[in-house]
Structure formats: structure tokens, C-alpha cells
Amino acid sequence: MPAETLLALVCPEFALADYQQIQIWRREHDGVLADRVLPHITLVSPVSGWKPGDFTREIHARLAGQQPFDIVLDKAVSHLDTEAEAAMEWLVPTIGREALSALQDQLHAGALSAERPAGPSGIPHLTIGRGAEPAVSKARVAEINEAGLSIHCRASAVQIIRYKGDRVKLLERVPLGRER
């Protein structure tokens, strides 16, 4: 039986043209998840050993009072995944980066404190590609950056997701700005 993992994601609200462009990049260079999960920024990386109800309650408790915020994704970067020996391509924010980092900190402050990823994968980012040779990846992100990337979007909810094998299920969408 496949292992079950749980995650918490921000799936920003995009203008249609920006969403379509992100999906083009994801389908071409990150085909694994492009049609299974909306474009997202991971707040809590896949964790196992949690019951869905316990995980959901922990996320709810940590999100109380968190307000929606704006994000501007305006830089593409290439990151070498040393485990996979391949490059990852990310869109990273300048506006909203502090709010995303603070939200990650808030979610990992309680029972999820041991689950916080170390290193670059903990940097707020939206993955648009994976698995490329590093030189190919660097060329792709240079092309994106030269075109003048500026994607404005809004974080207004956190999605709680369950992975089991190759299946992805949305367990709950938790709006930001709600009372406890």
C-alpha cells in the first residue's frame, strides 16, 4: 500500500494569462504535477505519520488570524537538486517573500517544528521545472528573466493536500483572514 503524505500549500490567485503561462512552463518542464496540483508555493513539505484530521487541526490552529497578502513573482532561478542530480526551476517572489517565510515559520512553530525543511527547498518558491541538466535549466531561467518576469498574485487561502501513491486529493481549503 502506498505511503500517505500530507502538505500545506498556497495556491495563489493569478490573472488568467499569468496562470496559463505558468501552466505552459510546468507542463513542458514539470509534467509530473502540472495537471494534478495547481501552481503552488509549499508551506509544509510532505510529512508522513500524521493522521489527516490531526494535521488539518494543526494547520487551522496555526493559521488563525493570518491575513491574505499579495505576492509578486519576478525572478526565475535554477537550483541544483543534489539528491536527484538535476536542476529545479523556480519562480521566487520579492513582494510577499517575507509574508510567506513568516507563514512557514508560523506553521512550523508547533507540532510540525521537526518537519521544517533545511536548505534551499525551504525558500518560498513556485516550481516550474525539474529534472533538466543544469546548463539547460540555467538557460531557461535566463530566458524567462530576460523577458521581464512580473507575475502579480494573491495568497488568500492555504490548501491541505494528501498524496497517496500517484493520487492527489484536496482535503481542505482554509481561507486566510478567518477568525479562530
In whole angstroms, what is the distance from residue 151 CA to residue 134 CA? 24
pLDDT at 100: 96
Distances (CA, A) of 101 to 8, 44, 93, 98: 14, 11, 11, 5
The full length of the chain comes to 180
Q: Are 169 and 155 in contact (CB under 8 A)?
A: no
pLDDT at 148: 92
In whole angstroms, what is the distance from residue 135 CA to residue 112 CA? 36
In whole angstroms, what is the distance from residue 84 CA to residue 63 CA? 33
What are the backbone angles phi and psi of residue 172, rounded to the nearest 5°? -165, 150
- No. of helices (H) and no. of strands (E), the chain: 4, 9
In whole angstroms, what is the distance from residue 128 CA to residue 27 CA? 8
In whole angstroms, what is the distance from residue 161 CA to residue 167 CA? 10
Q: Which domains does the chain have, with CATH numbers?
A: 4-175 (3.90.1140.10)
pLDDT at 33: 78
- pLDDT per position in the chain (180 positions), as tens? 568 999 999 999 999 999 999 999 999 998 777 888 999 999 999 999 999 999 999 999 999 889 999 999 999 999 987 776 779 999 999 999 999 999 999 999 889 988 887 766 678 999 999 878 889 999 999 999 999 999 999 999 999 999 998 889 999 999 998 655
pLDDT at 123: 87
What amino acid occupies position 46?
P
pLDDT at 54: 96
pLDDT at 82: 74
pLDDT at 121: 66
